[in-house]
Copies of this chain bind each other. A is one copy, B any other.
Amino acid sequence: MESMVPSIVFTPGELADALGALRASTPLVQVLTNAVVTNFTANVLLAAGASPAMVDVPGEAGGFAAVASGMLVNLGTPHGEQRAAMAEAVAAANAAGTPWVLDPVAVGSLGIRTNFALKLRDASPTVIRGNASEIMVLAEAGSGGRGVEATDTVDSASAAATALALRSGAVVAVSGEADLITDGTRTVHVHGGSKMLTLVTGGGCALGAICAAFLSLTDDALLAAVAGHACYSAAAERAEAIASGPGSFAVAFLDALHTLTPAELASTAVLS
């Protein structure tokens, strides 16, 4: 089945235009995410040129989802009150046409988030982003990773990603050494990036927020997800070049996201 998926590549100019549009519009991104990464995620959005709003209180989350440019629902620490806010926000986003990203952190053996993620999978997310093990669980093709770590490779999750995209209607992004992004018929690999991102907590979680920012700028969710991943990879490469370890890498990554120009993105992104 995988061999029937045609490989297409967006042009450098399309990536540059997407980043230019983000900078011009400062999309308002609602973030319902885990307690570990909320600060880093907000700073990543600010650095990239978006405006974060961590509205995850029941009674407020739905109203905000109706006016946000895009939204992230990340299940890393899904406490009861936050799960209620997420359900409210997803319903309101769908009613209002607000695009949203689902990040099913560490699904598999952890029952509460896994059951909740399966429900959200079937609630029309625009993008589902995770590591290979998480994507396989949502595709009901695997049993999960080791905590928040993937124990499966991106390649091994390729068929599951395509099946999940076709089933859910979402673009599915699998993070790894090269990221695989598919809408079920078109598949793109984003190369580059840095392994250092795996040594900074929230490295993957904030990527979901960046994708939510790009979703408000184009009707092509695949392009939005690819642009988000390409920006992320470009900034990570620049950061790794000057970092002395994961502490200085995280600092340099925020700086690089902020200073990355559309032209630089176009000239460095490697897709296949």
Contact = CB atoms under 8 A, between A and B. Distances in A.
Given A38-B36, A54-B77, A247 B60 contact: no
Interface stretch (A124-132, A155-163, A171-179, A254-262): A254-262
Interface residues of A, number: 62
A260 to B, nearest CB: 10
Contacts of A217: none
A161 B53 CA distance: 25
A81 interface: yes
A256 B246 CA distance: 9
A37 B67 CA distance: 23
Interface string A32-52: 001111111011001100011
Contact of A248 (B42, B106, B246, B251): B251
Nearest to A253: B247
Interface string A51-84: 1111111011001100110000000111111000
A2 interface: no
Contacts of A253: 247
A54 B81 contact: no
A59 B111 contact: yes
Contact of A81 (B36, B37, B79, B146): B79
B78 A46 contact: no
Given A59-B112, A68-B147, 18 more contacts: A36-B42, A39-B201, A39-B202, A42-B201, A46-B246, A47-B245, A47-B247, A53-B147, A54-B77, A56-B77, A60-B113, A64-B109, A199-B258, A243-B255, A244-B255, A245-B259, A248-B255, A250-B251
